[in-house]
Structure 1
Amino acid sequence: MNRVATILIVFAMTVTAVSVAVVLAVQFAFPPGQAIASGASVLFALALLHVQIERRRDRRWMEARVSEIAAVAGDVNTEVGRVAAKLAKVDATLPAHVREETEPLVAEVEVLGHLMKQIADTLADFEIRVDEQMGEIAAKGDTPRLSGPPQAPSVQTRLEPREERSAERQGEPIGDSPFSVHPPVRPEPIRAAEPARIPTAFEREVEAAIRAERIEIHLQPIVTLPQRKVRYYEVLTRLRAADERLIAAAEFLPAAEARRLIARLDTYQVIRSFQILKRLTARNREIGLTVNISPLSLVDTGFYREFSAFLNQNRSMADLVQFEFTQAAVREMGPLEAESLAALADIGYRFSVDTVTDLRMDFRGLVDQGFRTVKISVDRLLGRAPMITGDIHPADLSGHLQRQGIALVVDRIETEAQVVDLLDYDVRLAQGFLFSAPRQVRPEILGAAPAADAAKSKAAGR
């Protein structure tokens, strides 16, 4: 339609121009050339007028469209503002609502944890009394004879399940008890009952060292590759025996767990670690620490309450501290341990997985829990020691972990040849005797913070 209208307008303008030229030539006796020039001028003027009219009409149409778009954009901005206001209101009220909903549950969990601790302490005292009594009996050489199974004795010895079942089949005693009991229906030959388990000499040695605080703090650096610049220090504990012999953590930890001294050991280690970190950050703010703690401490109500309060007081250094757990310990963690880790992650602290032997892990889930580093020995990564790889090739592990937000640390490096072999694995953090053996922190450094000592004494006295 617009095309036809344009053709008609052009035709009309041409007719008008020709008419003007004819009238000028016939009526006004203009020369033909002058008449034709006048007609052409009229045609040009009409064409120019038409173009201006069309441009003005197009401009008005465009302005109308822009006004409509601006109105729609204004409506959209209004709606976005309303949605943003609603989201801000939800963000402001949601934490309070969540706290209100979870506070009763947290209180119940804390009460349960306190009750469990009381039960554990009671059982520990009970077992210690049993051990002492059995030790006295064993020392005197008195082996009590029972003519039958005891009925509800107040003190009885725990036997292994296989020994207990065998004793029941043979009608033999299943515990050392000085109390009189009823004879069995069918008397059997009597054997001396096995004495209760008493602490070994090594366990007593470990207990004495921990209670006397003969605990040494050693540091081993974790360096960047290929620059070999120190990025972290791992905190390692050693016990100094009475004969000045050093006891490594792998040796004394089982004994400390058996004597229920892990929380006391972790208390000493954590406070000393922060004391060291303050000295380190005074010279270099980029160096951090990895501190090994036991998962048992996370479910110890008394320890964890003071532990979390201490970490909250030192949250300014949270980005420089990682608490380290073995892969086996991480896999055995239950809801209580996970809740404790979540609370520490909320403060700003991060975690590390050590002694990894199986790559079939949910690394994204670890990141969500706050884990930021994974440690694997160099022999396992290079295929010289057994490791379950799953779908991840060891050569691709570093890049895969980096995409997940986790740094790979290869430890137990002892030779330059191992470093050369790691070049194709894109390893950026390494640890081992090649770079430095664990070195003891000087006692004068550990003794330089009275405030830390006071806090430690308070925590250790529970």
Structure 2
Amino acid sequence: MRAIVLFFLAVACLSIGITTYFALGFTVIESFLVTIVALLASFVFIEALFRRRTETYLVNQTESIARQLSNVAKTSEMLSDQVSFLSGLNMKDRTDNLEADVSVLGTVVRQLAEAVAEMEEAQAAGVTGSNKNSADDRYKGDEDSGRGGGFEFVDNGPVVPIEAVQHALANNEIEQFLQPIVSLPQRRTLGYELMPKLRTDDGVLHEAEDFLHYEDNTGTIAELEQLLIRQAANIVHRANITGDPTNLFVPISLALLRDKENCSTMAGLLASNRAVSASLMLTLSEATFDSLNASDKKSLAELVRAGAGICLDNVRSLRLTFQAMSERGVKFVKADAQAFINNPLDFTDFHRADLADYVERFGIGLIMDNVTSEDHVLELLDDKIPYAQGKHIAQPSPVRPDLASEKSSKRSATR
């Protein structure tokens, strides 16, 4: 393009020189000089024009490159942020959860396949009727409770007369024992279960289930359970002072929950000292927890809002709605270790090794009670059970004197 312009420019300058020679009468030298001057002037003008256009083009290209570099810098910054975010993610936990889900799903599918195979074999052998009868016997207790699971705890009811309980309460004769609950495999102490015991005139030391589960109208059991919570709070408080904080599991029953005055008093006491109430676990049997009416649930929710947790004891099955239980304040569930080891299918449809991880996802700890031998401990370790309790772990022992509450003052305070 530039060569064509210069060619036509030279032709035009030559035409000027010819015109001056023939039309204006210039000499040949003068016409040649005019042609050279015109050619030089035109060349300078055209070069300046081309230079200006080139500079403008370069400026535009430079601005375009600058904009592109700015976009690249922003993109790099975004990528850097994404890389930082991804590097900060704990992919191991997510992978572990995914592996646990896949493992649980695989276990359920395998058990389903085995159940279908057993049904087909039973039908082929003509023993469907007998299998049905055995299944009915196995889950007879489940129909009464309205859900799956097969371990049934026999409760013969209290054997100590209510008058004897009133006498012991009036004379501060309720003895307090503590049994540790430990974590596996380190066997570090998670907390202690408070076990009130009553010694009658014949010298027999009765366990809590012999006298705590009355449904009386005298308010004795509610007053006794209120005293237990006060003593437990006092033990936790003194343990915190001595630098040895611990959790304390305190048994309660329907008697306290249905005594609105005492229950409200306890809720106020717990709410006033969150440091203590956070370490208190109110222990109810699963049967009691399932039998709560709307008013009982309201009383229990008041205690939970005050800071206390809930522990379900004597769990007959682990086929539970753990999400709903967690929302109601359940922190721990306790099952019988011997029954779980001997008949795991009566407790759950999951593989035994996957059960504790599944329960833990809902913020609930699984405690196996009644551990009576080292073989039980080894079995629980294989099943990754996090907590254990029982006579083999440690026998119940009286409360240490430095942690024991001043019963007389506490007794008077409850009146």
TM interval, shorter chain, is 0.5 to 0.7
Q: Does 1:374 align with 2:333?
A: yes
Cα gap change, 1:400 to 1:18, in 2 (>3 Å): farther
1:340 maps to which residue? 299
SS in structure 1 of the partner of residue 335 of structure 2? strand
Q: Give the root-mean-square deviation of aligned CA atoms.
A: 3.9
Match of 2:413 in 1: 458
Aligned residues: 308
Contact kept, 8 Å, 1:21 with 1:39, in 2: the verdict is no
Work out whether 1:408 is the aligned partner of 2:366. Answer: yes
Tell me which amino acid in the other structure corresponds to 2:269: F
| Cα displacement (A) at 1:261 | 2.0
CA distance change for structure 1 residues 15 and 442 in 2, over 3 Å: closer, same or farther? same
Moved more, 398-407 or 46-55: 46-55
Runs of 5+ unmatched residues, structure 2: 16-34, 71-157
C-alpha deviation, 1:302, in angstroms: 2.3
Q: Distance in 2 between matches of 1:384 and 1:25?
A: 116
Quote the Cα distance in structure 2 between the aligned partners of 1:325 and 1:266: 12
**TM-superposition CA deviations, 1:270-327 (whole Å, max 9, x none):** 1111111122112345421111111221120221122122212222222211111111
1:313 — aligned with what?
272
The equivalent residue for 1:46 is 53
Q: Which residue of 2 aligns with 1:241?
A: 200
Q: Distance in 2 between matches of 1:25 and 1:422?
A: 111
| Cα shift at 1:431 | 1.1
Structure 2 residue aligned with 1:439, among 397, 400, 408?
A: 397
1:207/1:256 contact within 8 Å kept: no
Instruction: For 1:61-140, list aligned pairs within 5 A.
Output: none
- The answer to whether residue 269 in structure 2 is matched with residue 261 in structure 1 is no
Partner of 2:356: 398
Which residue of structure 2 aligns with residue 222 of structure 1? 181
Change (3 A) 1:254 1:288: closer
In the alignment, does 2:247 pair up with 1:288?
A: yes
Amino acid at match of 2:183: T
Structure 2: distance between partners of 1:311 and 1:412: 30
Q: Are 1:418 and 2:373 counterparts?
A: no
Q: Measure how far apart 1:236 and its partner are.
A: 0.8
Sequence identity (%)? 25
Q: Over residues 103-140 of structure 1, what are the superposed CA-to-partner deviations in whole Å (9 max), with x where a residue is unaligned?
A: xxxxxxxxxxxxxxxxxxxxxxxxxxxxxxxxxxxxxx
- Distance (Å, rounded) in 2 between the aligned partners of 1:421 and 1:212: 45
TM-score (norm 2): 0.63
| TM-score, reference length from structure 1 | 0.58
Sort the Cα spacing of 1:269 and 1:61 in 2 relative to 1 into closer, same or farther, 3 A: closer
Looking at both structures, which has the greater relative contact order when contacts are Cα pairs under 8 Å and sequence separation is at least 6?
Answer: 2
* Mapping of residues 341-360 of structure 1, within 5 Å: 341-360=300-319
| Letter of the structure 2 residue corresponding to residue 47 of structure 1 | T
In 1, distance between residues paired with 2:6 and 2:310?
Answer: 92
Q: Tell whether the 8 Å contact from 1:271 to 1:456 is kept in structure 2 after alignment.
A: no
- Sort the Cα spacing of 1:305 and 1:40 in 2 relative to 1 into closer, same or farther, 3 A: same
Any unmatched runs of 5+ in structure 1?
1-10, 64-198
Closer, same or farther: CA 415–57 of 1 in aligned 2, 3 Å: closer
